[in-house]
Amino acid sequence: MELVDFKKHIESPINSVFKGLGEELKHVAKNRMLEYQLNEYKRNYFTKTLLHRSEPIKLTDFYLPLHIAKFKDRRITFTSDSKRISTENVSSLFDKSNYITIIGSAGSGKSTIVKYLFLDSVSRNFKIPIKVELRYLNEYDGSITDYIFDKIFLFHKLGFSVKVIDRLLNQGSFIFFFDGYDEINSSKKEQSTHDIDQFVNRYSSNYYLITSRPYTNIDTLPLFSNYVVCDLLFTEIPAFVKKQIPESETELAEKMIKAIAQIESHSYKSFLSNPLLLSMFILTYQSYSEIPQKRSDFYKQVFDTLYSVHDSVSKLSFVREKQSGLTKEGFEDLLKLFSFISYFEEKFLYQPDYLERKLTYIKEKKKSFSFENQKVIEDLQVAIGILNKDGLAYTFPHRSLQEFFAANYISGLSESNKRAVYDKIGTAIKSGWLYLIDNYHFLSLLAEQDYKSIVSILAIPLLEKEFSRAAGVVTNEYGKMHDILAKVYLISTYLLQPALRLEAIHHDFCINYSLRMVSLTSDKYLTLDQMKDYDIRPSKVMADFELLEKKGDMWIQGIKGNIEEQERSDSDIIGLI
């Protein structure tokens, strides 16, 4: 849909929502709503991506409609078309429910789906779309209801008073896109969840869509039907590649598609089924001929490519001048420090004053750094393209880059400083487990880069604590059993090096683990009725729990033995010199 069609498509829903106002007020309100919608439409229609960083391009030029599936099927490999639901038509997604959550892993395309659906709702005259990026709640002192009233309706003068806005919202003419639930700070998440639930209940006749990473408990919201973003099918990858590369570079696209088709490794194919990682492959293709085994190595390749290659994927690449005078290693060290600080402060959107303060702080603490803040910001945004301008603030092209640099910083610390960081992480996990679930992608990247320390200092003590708890559980305490099983599963999934997961208990427990990953952050154990609702069978809980009791100690001893063997072999090698 082109911009010239905008007014024709959005005018009908807007006329409907303001039908109760007097003619003069209706005229003014209608014009303001049209202006606001046009600006929001442009913000979603023109966008920047990892591959298109210098100039915004039309979303329709690069977007390949993704698929979702019902949340109950999330452990299935999506090979059957009958289980995959297209996101091409916004109205069809809401056929059975006014309330939808879309859950997807890092880089699965959740936010891009929201941008597309926003545009699609306009093109189909399907409600009046309102998009709320939930990360902005972190900087706002109030509820989401207050935010929508103050920062959208009153700020843009879409309503003349709270009473009028309340009346407009009660008409059911809107579709709200709440994007990035996982980016709400942990300190505000419980209250924000309550506020979202209250807003939805208060204005229940509207349509709602919420996006989030997995395991944030967003799937437990009442009323909402839960969906997950499906991986790209291997047969969809060629079309995705062609969408990302200009038509003038057809030869390059065909070379990439041919290279991908020759990949035999199942793990590599799975790797490229993630839209972000596939985009990274496209970005790095001309510099690196192979896909690394670890995701963290892939992110390193992405930075190397961003640093040295021009914004397009053209063969006519050139290196941009860096104004700050920092070397490549200097930029890496700066990004590691800034990412570590901002990640643990739960900052994903950087206001200019925040960026200034942190850069100044880094220079004060690291005397080896000497740069002008504005020149560094300019280099990160323009010359390298690893910071994007979002209104007046800045973000990484994708949050996972922040997670990579933060994990990379920790992996390079001294043993005593690592222990200090891991002790803080361990304390956060023990206090509620929400940290482990919310930060699974970061912890997985950290485990790849620093597995010996994360296993020794963090994973083994946590596992031993859970096995100790298991000894006190009596028959029929299915809720406690499920709680322990779920936590052991998460530790083994996110904190142990992949090679270790193949040993002892892993094959029997992790691969065949069939319990639903629900209510993990709750302090209350699941009742039998709740377990029944989530299709968790007590007999299966008992069987998995008995397996854990039988093999748990053997598993831990096997992991410890593996680490000791590596240390012995390293000692022998050192003895040679």
pLDDT in tens, 347-388: 988 999 999 999 999 999 998 899 999 999 999 988 888 888
CATH of domain 328-408: 1.10.10
Kindly indicate the confidence band of residue 18, based on its pLDDT and cuts at 50, 70 and 90: low
At residue 479, does pLDDT exceed 70?
Answer: yes
Angle CA(89)–CA(94)–CA(98) in degrees, nearest 5? Answer: 150
How many other CB atoms are there within 10 angstroms of residue 454's CB atom?
25
How many angstroms separate the CA atoms of 457 and 424, rounded?
A: 11
Q: What is the pLDDT of residues 316-353, one digit of tens each?
A: 344 456 888 899 999 999 999 999 999 999 998 899 99
How many angstroms separate the CA atoms of 366 and 389, rounded?
A: 26
Please state the pTM of the whole predicted model.
Answer: 0.74
CA Rg, the chain, in Å?
A: 25
How many angstroms separate the CA atoms of 571 and 72, rounded?
A: 49
What is the 8-class DSSP label of residue 98?
S
Q: Which residue is associated with the tokens 């047969």?
A: 235
At residue 94, does pLDDT exceed 80?
Answer: yes
Percent of all residues in the chain with a pLDDT value above 70, rounded to a whole number:
82
Confidence (pLDDT) at 269:
73
Both tokens assigned to 82: 């009958």
Q: Which residue has the higher pLDDT, 59 or 216?
A: 59
Kindly indicate the confidence band of residue 431, based on its pLDDT and cuts at 50, 70 and 90: confident
Q: What is the pLDDT of residues 46-74, one digit of tens each?
A: 988 878 777 788 998 899 999 999 876 44
Confidence (pLDDT) at 527:
65
Kindly indicate the confidence band of residue 145, based on its pLDDT and cuts at 50, 70 and 90: very high
How many angstroms separate the CA atoms of 70 and 29, rounded?
A: 39
Confidence (pLDDT) at 517:
45
* Average pLDDT of the chain to the nearest whole number: 82
CA–CA distances in Å: residue 386 to residues 219, 292, 528: 32, 21, 49
Kindly indicate the confidence band of residue 208, based on its pLDDT and cuts at 50, 70 and 90: very high
Both tokens assigned to 492: 């083994």
Both tokens assigned to 536: 């968790």
At residue 404, does pLDDT exceed 50?
Answer: yes
Strand partners, 220: none
Confidence (pLDDT) at 538:
75
Largest CA distance in the chain: 90
- Please name the amino acid found at residue 141: D
223 — alpha (psi -120 to 50), left (phi > 0) or beta?
left
CA-CA-CA-CA torsion sign (221, 226, 232, 236): negative
Q: Name the architecture of domain 3-229.
A: 3-Layer(aba) Sandwich (3.40)
How many angstroms separate the CA atoms of 104 and 74, rounded?
A: 10
Q: What is the pLDDT of residues 505-552, one digit of tens each?
A: 555 555 444 444 444 444 455 666 666 665 566 777 787 788 778 777
Contact call for residues 146 and 137 (beta carbons, < 8 A): no
Both tokens assigned to 462: 């946590």
Q: Where in the chain is the domain with CATH 3.40.50.300?
A: 3-229
Q: Where in the chain is the domain with CATH 1.10.10?
A: 328-408
Confidence (pLDDT) at 9:
66
How many other CB atoms are there within 10 angstroms of residue 459's CB atom?
25
